[in-house]
């Protein structure tokens, strides 16, 4: 094992390999646990927030005893049970999906039909590996793989997710999944471009392609979209360039956010599914656990996307007033966990934004979608790069 | 002839669409916020809240048999309800009250009185036709059972559901 690692990474100190191994393993398992719980509760939040927006109550029955909050400790609380009940819903959903009949239609291409759901969720989970989800705990960076090509890795892996959809649609051997898959492929390919191009300005400003470096830049100089929010420098650096640079960052934030909606197949860009037009889209022929994997993959992709936006634009784990943890002491340890908490709070806030947008905007027509992607966002992102370059080069 | 559809002239703000997104978000989040403060009127939470107090006086629930204040089953087994019942849900087997009985003058009583609640259409004709004010459609609406036989209401069940009804015309009182 050591020999393999030495071969892969010759600069590594052989003595630190066991430490590296077990910390990476612990981080992976920890992050996976957090994310999978978050996924199941994102599904619940989606249903609940959707219904609250539509003046309904949503699933409020499958509760832990928590739904008895009405008279906890004998104090007369406001009756929260219509709001808080139903927290056991994800468990009930999982049990239901597990116990359903696993039905594989006779006309499908079996091999691809079986690997497609795994590809979708796999791609979404793997791209979480490079995201710095916390500062440091006991001197260990809270990122599973601190590699120098962070965003490229995310784009490369998350575009593999389209294979899950394409294979599902093609192997289902039936018309609606196929149409869904074709739409999805063209959509993802179109928006991948503006997604990739829109983050280039950030890395031009920072000068490095490492997400951890990007985050430490934001800690020192303020969040990307809100410069000046920092503990180190409570005031803005007064140069003209530092103000002007906000413009391209805002443009790239908007383009990136919208492209991320398209990448995760969320409304208003959910054409691959388009319930009203395509029955269920690419997963029409799937049932039981395979359907659940698609479903979870979609929500994991949402979480990955939100984490990526939070890392790039919203200062990742940094919050003004909360110092960086990581010192080998109790306070440092606690601060490290607080930093992780801040990161996930931001991610959750963004997920709620995802959900709110879902009930705000109607689905785009297909030609509008293509026009938006190719004629507007691609050009805007491209021009934005030049704008950033000009500001960086000529405005002090 | 082809129609020339005139497209609306959009302003710049409408063309870039983002202000509309914000306006939409305001509405969506407004609904969410009103809901969270409990200002929105939502549907009845059924098992906790029941319809009972909201039912109007004329509500037609399950048909039941009632007793008068002397404890007599008001039904005299005339079988008018059995004849009028459109889905033929009622089956009555008349019985005779012996002459020496406290209610001997009434002469007849239902030995068996069955209503098949799987057939009943809650039309209320039995109540309307009853000359003795013995059968009433009361407010029971949640009839459930795990077998068909449980929804075959017999006389005991009907009397238990009906209870005692007072304030009706007791035309047999003098003749008792």
* CB contact (8 A) between residue A356 and residue B32: yes
* CB contact (8 A) between residue A53 and residue B36: no
Q: Side-chain half-sphere of A152: how many Cα atoms within 13 Å?
A: 8
pLDDT of residue A67: 45
Which residue of A81, A255, A360, A375 is the best one to mutate when testing the B interface, meaning the one whose CB has the most B CBs within 10 A?
A360
pLDDT of residue A221: 78
> Given the DSSP bridges, would you call strands B90-96 and B108-116 parallel, antiparallel or unpaired?
antiparallel
* Rounded Cα–Cα distance for residues A52 and B42 (Å): 10
* CB contact (8 A) between residue B32 and residue A52: yes
DSSP string, B33-68: HHHHTT-S-----TTTS-SGGG--TT----EEE-B-
- Each residue's pLDDT expressed in tens, for chain B with a length of 176 residues: 788 899 888 888 888 888 888 999 999 999 999 988 888 887 887 777 788 888 888 899 999 999 988 888 899 999 999 999 999 999 999 999 888 888 888 889 999 999 999 999 999 999 999 998 999 999 888 888 899 999 999 999 999 998 898 888 887 776 55
> Residue B115: what are its φ and ψ, rounded to 5°?
-120, 125
In chain B, where the domains are located: 57-172
pLDDT of residue A66: 47
> Which chain B positions have a beta carbon within 8 Å of A68's beta carbon?
none
* CB contact (8 A) between residue B36 and residue A83: yes
Q: Output the pTM of the full model.
A: 0.79
CB atoms within 10 A of CB A2: 12
* B42 CA: distance to closest CA in chain A (Å): 6
In chain A, where the domains are located: 100-394
CATH number of B57-172: 3.30.70.3270
The residue whose two tokens read 């019942």 is B85
- Each residue's pLDDT expressed in tens, for chain A with a length of 396 residues: 666 666 666 666 777 778 888 888 988 999 999 988 999 889 888 888 888 898 888 887 776 554 455 455 555 555 555 556 677 788 888 888 888 888 888 888 889 888 888 888 888 888 888 888 888 777 778 888 888 888 888 888 888 888 888 888 888 888 888 888 888 888 888 888 888 899 898 888 888 888 888 888 888 777 877 776 665 554 555 677 777 888 888 999 999 999 888 888 887 887 766 666 667 778 888 888 888 888 888 888 899 999 999 998 888 888 877 777 777 778 888 888 888 889 999 999 999 998 899 888 888 888 888 888 888 889 999 999 999 999 888 877
Which residue of A83, A361, A371, A377 is the best one to mutate when testing the B interface, meaning the one whose CB has the most B CBs within 10 A?
A361
> Which chain A positions have a beta carbon within 8 Å of B28's beta carbon?
53, 356, 359-360
Instruction: Name the DSSP class of B104.
Output: G
User: What is the interface pTM, i.e. ipTM, of the complex?
Assistant: 0.76
Three-class DSSP labels, chain A: CHHHHHHHCCCCCHHHHHHHHHHHHHHHHHHHHHHHHHHHHHHHHHHHHHHHHCCCCCCCCCCCHHHHHHHHHHCCCCCCHHHHCCCCHHHHHHHHHHHCCCCCCCCCCHHHHHHHHHHHHHHHHHHHHHCCCCCEECCEECCCCCCCCHHHHHHHHHHHHHHHHHHHHHHCCCHHHHHHHHHHHHHHHHHHHHHHHHCHHHHHHHCCCCHHHHHHHHHHHECCCCECCCCCCCCCCCCHHHHHCHHHHHHHHHHHHHHHHHHCCCCCCCCCCCHHHHCCHHHCCCCHHHHHHHHHHHHHHHHHHHHHHHHHHCCCCCECCECCCCCCCHHHHHHHHHHHHHHHHHHHHHHHHHHHHHCCCCCCCHHHHHHHHHHHHHHHHHHHHHHHHHHHHHCC
pLDDT of residue A236: 56
Cα-Cα-Cα-Cα dihedral sign, residues A33, A39, A42, A44: negative
* CB contact (8 A) between residue B40 and residue A55: yes
* CB contact (8 A) between residue B43 and residue A49: no
* CB contact (8 A) between residue A356 and residue B45: no
* B35 CA: distance to closest CA in chain A (Å): 6
- The predicted-structure confidence for B127-163, as pLDDT tens digits, reads as follows 999 998 999 999 888 888 899 999 999 999 999 998 8
pLDDT of residue B37: 85
Partner residue facing A360 (CB), from B24, B35, B40: B24
* A61 CA: distance to closest CA in chain B (Å): 10
* B11 CA: distance to closest CA in chain A (Å): 18
* A55 CA: distance to closest CA in chain B (Å): 6
Per CB distance under 8 Å, which residues of B are interface residues toward A? 18, 21, 24-25, 27-29, 31-32, 35-36, 38, 40, 42-43, 45
pLDDT of residue A72: 53
pLDDT of residue A143: 83
A28-45: burial string, b at 16+ Cβ within 10 Å, e else:
eebbeebbeebbbbbbbb
pLDDT of residue A12: 67
């Amino acid at each position: 094992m050591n020999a393999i690692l030495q071969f892969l990474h010759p600069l590594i100190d052989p003595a630190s390999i066991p430490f590296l191994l077990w910390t990476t393993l612990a981080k992976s398992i920890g992050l996976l646990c957090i994310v999978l719980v978050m996924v199941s509760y994102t599904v619940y939040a989606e249903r609940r927030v959707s219904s609250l927006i539509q003046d309904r109550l949503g699933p409020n029955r499958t509760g832990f005893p928590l739904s008895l909050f009405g008279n906890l400790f004998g104090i007369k609380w406001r009756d929260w049970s219509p709001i808080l009940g139903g927290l056991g819903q994800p468990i009930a959903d999982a049990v239901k999906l597990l116990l359903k009949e696993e039905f594989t239609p006779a006309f499908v291409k079996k091999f691809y039909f079986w690997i497609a759901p795994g590809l979708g969720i796999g791609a979404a989970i793997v791209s979480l590996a490079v995201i710095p989800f916390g500062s440091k705990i006991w001197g260990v960076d809270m990122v599973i793989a601190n590699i120098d090509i962070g965003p490229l890795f995310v784009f490369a892996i998350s575009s593999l997710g389209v294979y899950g959809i394409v294979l599902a649609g093609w192997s289902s051997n039936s018309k609606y999944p196929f149409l869904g898959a074709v739409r999805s492929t063209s959509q993802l390919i179109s928006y991948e471009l503006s997604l990739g191009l829109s983050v280039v300005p950030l890395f031009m400003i920072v000068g490095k392609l490492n997400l951890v470096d990007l985050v430490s830049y934001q800690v020192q100089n303020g969040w990307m979209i809100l410069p000046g929010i920092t503990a180190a420098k409570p005031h803005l650096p007064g140069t003209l360039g530092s103000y002007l640079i906000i413009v391209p960052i805002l443009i790239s934030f908007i383009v990136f956010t919208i492209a991320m909606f398209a990448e995760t197949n969320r409304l208003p860009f959910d054409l691959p599914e388009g319930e009203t037009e395509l029955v269920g889209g690419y997963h029409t022929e799937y049932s039981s656990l395979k359907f659940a994997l698609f479903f979870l993959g979609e929500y994991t992709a949402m979480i990955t996307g939100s984490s990526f936006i939070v890392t790039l634009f919203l200062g990742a784990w940094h919050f003004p007033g909360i110092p960086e943890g990581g010192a080998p002491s109790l306070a440092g340890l606690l601060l490290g966990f607080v930093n992780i908490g801040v990161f996930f709070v931001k991610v959750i806030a963004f997920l709620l934004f995802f959900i709110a947008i879902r009930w705000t905007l109607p689905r785009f027509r297909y030609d509008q979608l293509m026009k938006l992607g190719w004629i507007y966002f691609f050009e805007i992102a491209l021009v934005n790069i030049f704008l950033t370059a000009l500001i960086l080069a000529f405005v002090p | 002839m082809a129609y020339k559809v005139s497209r609306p002239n959009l302003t710049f703000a409408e063309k870039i669409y983002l202000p509309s997104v914000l306006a939409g978000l305001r509405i969506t989040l407004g609904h969410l916020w009103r809901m969270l403060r409990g200002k929105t009127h939502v549907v009845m939470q059924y098992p906790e809240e029941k319809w009972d107090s909201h039912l109007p006086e004329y509500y037609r629930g399950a048909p039941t048999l009632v007793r008068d204040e002397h404890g007599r089953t008001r039904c005299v087994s005339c079988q008018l309800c059995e004849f009028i019942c459109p889905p033929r849900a009622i089956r009555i087997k008349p019985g005779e009250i012996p002459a020496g009985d406290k209610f001997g003058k009434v002469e007849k009583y239902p030995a068996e009185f069955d209503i098949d609640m799987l057939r009943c259409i809650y039309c209320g004709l039995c109540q309307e036709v009853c000359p003795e004010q013995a059968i009433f459609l009361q407010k029971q609406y949640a009839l459930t059972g795990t077998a068909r036989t449980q929804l075959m209401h017999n006389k005991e069940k009907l009397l238990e559901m009906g209870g005692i009804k007072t304030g009706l015309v007791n035309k047999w009182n003098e003749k008792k």
